[in-house]
Amino acid sequence: MNQTTTLLRSQLKRRQDSSNRSLDFHAFASAQRVLARQDGPTVLVGHSFSGMIVTEAGMHPNVSALVYVAARAPDAGEDYPALAKRFPTPPASAGIIFDGDEGRLSEEAFLRDFAGDLPEAKAKVLYAVQEPFQKALLTGRTTQAAWRTKPSFYAVSTEDRTINPDLERFMAKRMGAKTIEVKASHVSLISRPDEITALILEASRASA
């Protein structure tokens, strides 16, 4: 569980700096370094944008299983925005504010559409420390899809207003993932930690 926790935290806290034309090279390289230090089978977990990193870095031989938590799960070379347009646009998209190439959610969108099931005080703390993302990240593409060859697990957030829940279901079904549905906002790993932890542990046991 220590390996899983380390990777989960590194993915969730990483500032998205997407200067690479396909994928966030710095985040990918960091994930690769962490994976190389593991001394056994490792479950790689990603939330939201970090699903892109899981999809790419999950090809590492130390990765035994993948867990997506309300996360992007593109195919190799796939145009994710085009895929997302096949589903109704989630409300959070309208709350993105750009300052040059950096984007972040407005306070209203963050509290209502990103972390809507958290106590307001806690959600405001998370809003205050949210890291901006680079505009290029929205259109970044992976070059490979680890979920095509690795056991995969997906936690759908049924009340998600940041990624359409039906899009999450589509990606989970396409990858043949063991899927759970959690009545939660986009941040189910915070609002429903027991269910998410159980799924990660299941992935760990399944790949042992």
Per-residue pLDDT at 23: 60
d(CA 153, CA 69): 9
Per-residue pLDDT at 26: 78
Give the predicted TM-score (pTM) of the model. 0.87
Per-residue pLDDT at 24: 64
Nearest by Cα to 92 from 105, 80, 78, 77: 105
d(CA 132, CA 52): 17
Per-residue pLDDT at 3: 47
Per-residue pLDDT at 177: 98
Residue 167 pLDDT greater than 60, yes or no: yes
d(CA 167, CA 70): 10
Pick from 24-28, 97-101, 153-157: least confident: 24-28
Pick from 12-26, 82-96, 145-159: least confident: 12-26
Question: Please, what is the Cα angle at 36 between 30 and 40, to 5 degrees?
Answer: 135
pLDDT in tens, 5-61: 444 444 444 433 333 344 667 788 889 999 999 999 999 999 999 999 999 999 999
**Is-contact 90 113, C-beta < 8 A?**
yes
Per-residue pLDDT at 11: 44
Residue 82 pLDDT greater than 70, yes or no: yes
With a CB cutoff of 8 Å and minimum separation 6, the contacts of 69 are: 45, 46, 47, 48, 155, 188, 189, 196
61-75 average pLDDT score = 97
164-183 average pLDDT score = 98
Per-residue pLDDT at 20: 36
Per-residue pLDDT at 67: 98
161-179 average pLDDT score = 98
Per-residue pLDDT at 2: 45
- What the chain holds in terms of domains, given with CATH numbers, is 2-93+141-206 (3.40.50.1820)
**Is-contact 115 126, C-beta < 8 A?**
yes
Average pLDDT, the chain: 89
Per-residue pLDDT at 207: 74
165-173 average pLDDT score = 98
Residue type, 138: L
Token pair of 77 as six digits? 């070379």
Residue type, 162: T
d(CA 171, CA 195): 20
d(CA 155, CA 146): 17
Q: What is the DSSP letter of 100?
A: T
Task: Give me the residues paired with residue 105 across strands.
Answer: 96
